[in-house]
Every structure is written in structure tokens, then in C-alpha cells.
């Protein structure tokens, strides 16, 4: 396969809200919730929110879904519950050709409540479920080693994080890593062994600041001085820094109307990796990632993820530009 994903698998339930009508919830919130909080959140959403869609989710799963939709051969390893939500997630990945045979089933599937306003801004509440119980023995290392790339993103719980860390250190293929705030908050010493094994790091400016204690750019350079070959610092509407030992470049963001920014960074990672798999230079990978992410935010959930034709059109334009 081209890419195998490792990370949390969640059922995303999206609601349209007006945050000024929800003083209990701060816009931009992203946190773990406990089971006993679900009735309160459900009641609040029933009274003050409009249900939009349910969709497959999880950062690494979004990236793998997008890569598969662009025509790459992909698989995934992780955990879902033995419930209807787990069935939905497996079917959702499977319909795009993702190999789900290495996804374990036990317990309750992770649920993610996503609140989106009219500007595309969001708040997220995660009930991790069985994701928090992933063990290293749940994962077939040989399966991962048959791929060209392992792409992995954060788990919230410590058990799953330690399992993920062991897996990353054990695999023999290049690692693409998107830590998210849960991992970045663990700090430099905890993540350094993973960074030394990472080929491409995808991270937001805030996450790099949390991880390094430095500004986004200074922190990115600090990470690049380790064995991390490429640091991609996602800056939202300001674009992205692509920093390697050979060069640094700011890729401007696309000016597009945003409906839902959920998963935009994950689709960016998919576009960047698609460029790598087509042997594009890193700046072009960044432009492809930006292009793919810009398309994805025009719809809710995974409804507008880019298809194979988008990739083919981009590659054709790059070839024409290089031939001039």
C-alpha cells in the first residue's frame, strides 16, 4: 500500500450553532469529555443547535480517507466499538477503498460532537471510547512495514499514546506525524523520541508553541534541527510554513468561503503526502496541500474532500509549469 494510518477513529456528529446563544461553550474549545457529561451536552444541542450530518472522523482517518479518495492505496489500524457507530465508520472508510481489516473491535466507538457557526468556526467535544484502550499488540507492525508511509495522529489517553509511541519507534517505514494539541501539550521531552523518528511533522503554530515553548517559526526550526526532515507549520488563514534543512517557504492560503474547517488540516496533510508520493518538491507538496484543504472546507464533514481528478489536474499544471 501507499499509506497506512494509525490514530483515533471517531463518529463526528456536526451541529450548526450560534455561539452567542451558548454562553456555556467558548468558541474554539477542543476537549475530552466524560460519559456523565453527554446527557448535558445532548440536551443543550437539542435545544440550541441544528443537526447537520454525521460523518467519519479522527485526524489520521480523515487524512487516509482523503488520500484514498485521491486514488492512493491505503489502510488503517486502530479501534472501533462493537456497535452501530463502529459499523458506520468501517463502512465509510471501506466505500472509498480503505483496507479496514486491521481495525480491532471492542467496547464503545469514540464520539466527537462538533459545533460549527456560520463563519465555519468550531468547538469540539470528544468522548474517546475504545480509542483510549489501544495497545501496541493490537497493531500488526508487519502490515505497516509493507506500506510506503505511516501517517499517524494523536490519541487523547495515555495508554494509547504509549502504544503509539512504541509502534512509531518500531516501524521501519517513513513516519508522517500530526501530534495535535493532546500530544503537543505533553512537551518536548516526551515527544522528542517520536520527532527523531519523524520524516514529516504536520502541526499548527499553537501546537509548536506548546511543544517547544518558542514561537511557531523558532520552534519549527528547533524541530528541524532534530532528525525530523520536514516541518509543516499550518497557520490557518495565513497559510503554512514548509521548513526543511534545504529551504523554507511560506505557502499562502487560498481565499475561499469556509463552511466547515473541521478536518482541513488533515486534508492538507493528505495533499502534501500525495505530492510526496508523486515525487514533487516540498513547496509544490505544500501548494497541493493548500489546494486540497481549500476544496474540503466548502462542505461539511468529508462531503467535499478532493477526488482523483483534482490531483490529476494539479499534477498536470505542475508539469506544464516545469516544461516552460
The pLDDT score that the predictor gives to residue 159 is 94
**Contact of 229 with 174, CB cutoff 8 Å:** no
The pLDDT score that the predictor gives to residue 149 is 98
pLDDT of 299 above 80 = no
Could you give the percent of the chain with pLDDT greater than 90?
A: 65
Q: What tens digit of pLDDT does each residue of 220-271 get?
A: 999 999 888 999 999 877 889 999 888 899 998 877 777 667 778 999 999 9
The pLDDT score that the predictor gives to residue 160 is 95
Strand partners, 43: none
d(CA 133, CA 243): 35
The pLDDT score that the predictor gives to residue 68 is 96
pLDDT-derived band at 323 (thresholds 50, 70, 90) equals low
What pTM does this model have? 0.92
The CA distances from residue 214 to 187, 199, 205, 249, 320, in Å, are 12, 21, 10, 19, 40
The pLDDT score that the predictor gives to residue 117 is 86
Structural fold of domain 3-9+57-108+129-173+254-323:
3.40.1190
Average pLDDT, the chain: 91
Q: What tens digit of pLDDT does each residue of 87-138 get?
A: 999 999 999 999 999 999 999 999 999 898 877 677 889 999 999 999 999 9
pLDDT-derived band at 57 (thresholds 50, 70, 90) equals very high
pLDDT-derived band at 22 (thresholds 50, 70, 90) equals confident
Q: Count other Cβ atoms within 10 Å, centred on residue 158.
A: 11
Among 266, 221, 271, residue whose Cα is nearest residue 251: 271
Residue spans per domain, the chain = 3-9+57-108+129-173+254-323
The pLDDT score that the predictor gives to residue 79 is 96
Amino acid at each position: 500500500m501507499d499509506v497506512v494510518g494509525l490514530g483515533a477513529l471517531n463518529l463526528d456528529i456536526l451541529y450548526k450553532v450560534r455561539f452567542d446563544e451558548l454562553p456555556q461553550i467558548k468558541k474554539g474549545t477542543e476537549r475530552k469529555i466524560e460519559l456523565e457529561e453527554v446527557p448535558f451536552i445532548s440536551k443543550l444541542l437539542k435545544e440550541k443547535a441544528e443537526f447537520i450530518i454525521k460523518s467519519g472522523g479522527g485526524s489520521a482517518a480523515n487524512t487516509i480517507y482523503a488520500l484514498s479518495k485521491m486514488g492512493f492505496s491505503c489502510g488503517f489500524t486502530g479501534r472501533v466499538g462493537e456497535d452501530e457507530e463502529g459499523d458506520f465508520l468501517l463502512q465509510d472508510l471501506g466505500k472509498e477503498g480503505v483496507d479496514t481489516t486491521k481495525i480491532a473491535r471492542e467496547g464503545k466507538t469514540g464520539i466527537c460532537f462538533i459545533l460549527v457557526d456560520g463563519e465555519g468556526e468550531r468547538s469540539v467535544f470528544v468522548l474517546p471510547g475504545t480509542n483510549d484502550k489501544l495497545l501496541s499488540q493490537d497493531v500488526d507492525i508487519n502490515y505497516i512495514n509493507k506500506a510506503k508511509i505511516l501517517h499517524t495522529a494523536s490519541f487523547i489517553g495515555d495508554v494509547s499514546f504509549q502504544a503509539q509511541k512504541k509502534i512509531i519507534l518500531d516501524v521501519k517505514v517513513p513516519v508522517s506525524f500530526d501530534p495535535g494539541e493532546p500530544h503537543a501539550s505533553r512537551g518536548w521531552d516526551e515527544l522528542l523520541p517520536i520527532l527523531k523518528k519523524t520524516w514529516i511533522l504536520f502541526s499548527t503554530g499553537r501546537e509548536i508553541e506548546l511543544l517547544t515553548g518558542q514561537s511557531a517559526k523558532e520552534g519549527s526550526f528547533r524541530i528541524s534541527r532534530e532528525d525530523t526532515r520536514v516541518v509543516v507549520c499550518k497557520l490557518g488563514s495565513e497559510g503554512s510554513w514548509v521548513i526543511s534543512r534545504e529551504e523554507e517557504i511560506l505557502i499562502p492560503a487560498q481565499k475561499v468561503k469556509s463552511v466547515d474547517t473541521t478536518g482541513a488540516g488533515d486534508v492538507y496533510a493528505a495533499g502534501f503526502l500525495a505530492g510526496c508520493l508523486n515525487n514533487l518538491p516540498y513547496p509544490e507538496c505544500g501548494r497541493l496541500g493548500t489546494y486540497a484543504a481549500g476544496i474540503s472546507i466548502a462542505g461539511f464533514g468529508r462531503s467535499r474532500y478532493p477526488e482523483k481528478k483534482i490531483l490529476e489536474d494539479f499534477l498536470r499544471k505542475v508539469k506544464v509549469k516545469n516544461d516552460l
